[in-house]
Amino acid sequence: MAAQNIGAVDATAFRPKPPRATGVPPCASAPDGSPCVVPGATAAAASGAPHVTEPTAYDGVLLLGFGGPEGQDDVIPFLRNVTAGRGIPDERLEEVAHHYRHFGGVSPINDHNRELRAALDAELRARGLDLPVYWGNRNWMPYVTDALESAVADGRTRLLALATSAYSSYSSCRQYREDLADAVEATALGGRVEIDKVRQFFDHPGFVAPFAEGLRDALAGLRADGFADDEIEILFSTHSIPYSDADRSGPPDSSGAGFGPGGAYVAQHVAVAEAILEKLGATSPWQLVFQSRSGPPQVPWLEPDINDVIAELPAEGRRAVVIVPLGFVSDHMEVLWDLDTEAMETAAEHGITAVRTPTPGIHPAYVAGLVDLIVERLRGTDAADRPHETELGPWYDVCRPGCCENKRLGFQPALAGAGA
């Protein structure tokens, strides 16, 4: 299978992202004739069952990314896209822009997604699957609309979406589903395309394996350098989000199932960290920490901040720290700046030896695991036969009603979910 057109765009001319959808595309018919509750879905997913066990003949994959600037002139337009609707002036955006300007105005995220698309394409071809991968972003070119139009131009109309985000929250799951609804409306393709989405893969073995390997190697290296296990702190780091969004992450009807403060977002990270530690038999102390906070100071975001934690470690007898970027799939800006720059500087200031472990990137286990998720839906694999590393999995194929609400925006039109 030849490399696919993933959305040709004029890179010299900025185009803003599409407006929000005001409606959702029509329903497909559920296979058993039951009412459709999942707009724009395939027939197998239309009834809204949590796990789809009907085989589905998809003919393309939509790889969904966040997007990032690819030059100094792109930085402010990109940040305007990210903050659209919040009325943030360019002067304040420039305060964030210096992270990107430090790296020449280029975010690494787009190249990482190009590499991932190529790796997925190769893995699919190796398995004999004719499923071209179309890549589209939320905040920069190529947009999701570009990917969708390219797929339809190639005659591919039954699509399975794969977002480059493993956990449940508004920004990491539901907003991607809203992006799909936006794209279908902006392209006027409602009724012509069917789009489902793979489950959140936070505890899939292919996602967990690279982190476990990285932590294993980091601990071995520090021990070889003379550090005792009780002198090493393991910090599992992820993107901070507002408490209001965190508490609403995951389905509300499962809020009594033990998610607790921070909702499914925090519970999933903690469960994966515990699974990794158990897999390795690691005994060093550890914490879940947060990074990359943004937004007005009066809005509470998840804490503790990784830099605050590192500053306190010497008083607790720690001489070294292993930073595991558990919330990230690749070395994009939040990893390069917030971890490799700021966190490392904080560690050096406090006399702490710091090691940052790799993100999954295009690790063979990760790429194979993503294709396994696609194959699950092609075959309609029963939930009991789906691999997962925590008791929270396997997560839902079809997001549940009321899942991952954004407190500020409420429920906007979205695909791949049942109800609001």
Pairwise CA distance, residues 162 & 109, whole Å: 16
DSSP summary character for residue 276: H
User: pLDDT at position 250, please?
Assistant: 94
> Within 13 Å of residue 33, how many CA atoms lie on the same side as its CB?
0
The Cα–Cα gap between 417 and 420 comes to: 8
Q: Tell me how far apart the alpha carbons of residues 328 and 335 are, in angstroms, rounded to a whole number.
A: 8
DSSP 82-98: HTTTS---HHHHHHHHH
Percentage of residues in the chain having pLDDT higher than 70? 94
Report DSSP letters for 3-72, one per residue.
PP------TTS--PPPPPPSS-PPPPPPTTSPPP-STT--TTTTT--SS--S-----EEEEEE----BSG
Higher pLDDT, 419 or 136: 136
pTM of the model as a whole: 0.93
Average of pLDDT values for 338-354? 98
Q: Which of 414, 398, 401, 399 is nearest to 52 (CA)?
A: 398
**Which has more pLDDT, 297 or 245?**
245
Please list the alpha-helical segments (H only) found in 55-201: 75-82, 90-101, 109-126, 144-153, 175-186
Position 160 scores a pLDDT of: 98
Domains of the chain by start residue, with CATH:
1-68+107-200+362-420 (3.40.50.1400), 205-356 (3.40.50.1400)
For the chain, what is the mean pLDDT?
Answer: 92
Q: Is the link from the previous residue into 142 a cis peptide, with omega within 30 of 0?
A: yes
Mean pLDDT of 273-279: 98
**Which three-class secondary structure state does DSSP give residue 75?**
helix
User: Of 28-32, 78-82, 140-144, 173-177, where does mean pLDDT reach its minimum?
Assistant: 28-32
Closest C-alpha among 378, 360, 357 to residue 369: 360
The vertex-263 CA angle with 258 and 265, nearest 5°, equals 115
Question: pLDDT of 368-385, one tens digit each?
Answer: 999 999 999 999 999 999
* Token pair recorded at residue 160: 């399975």
Cα separation, 362 vs 173, in Å, equals 21
Q: What was the pLDDT predicted at 363? A: 98
Task: Tell me the sheet residues that pair with 237.
Answer: 289
Task: Residue 59: name the closest of 18, 111, 7, 4 by CA.
Answer: 4
How many C-beta neighbours within 10 Å does residue 307 have?
Answer: 17
Q: Is the bond preceding residue 394 a cis peptide, omega within 30 degrees?
A: yes
pLDDT at position 3? 38
Q: 259 falls in which pLDDT band (50, 70, 90)?
A: confident
Structure tokens at 125: 């071809």
Say what the pLDDT of residue 32 is. 66
**Overall average pLDDT of the 73-89 stretch:** 90
CB 343 within 8 A of CB 306: yes
∠ CA 215-240-397, nearest 5°, is 80
- pLDDT tens digits, residue range 211-255? 999 999 999 999 999 999 999 999 999 999 999 999 999 998 644
Report which of residues 87 and 219 the model is more confident about. 219
Average pLDDT over residues 274-290: 98
Please say whether the dihedral angle defined by the alpha carbons of residues 210, 199, 58 and 195, taken in this order, is positive or negative.
Answer: negative
* Residue at 382: amino acid letter: D
Nearest C-alpha neighbor of 193 from the set 246, 149, 138: 149
Question: Can you give the pLDDT at residue 33?
Answer: 66
- Both structure tokens of 258: 């033990």
pLDDT at 7: 40
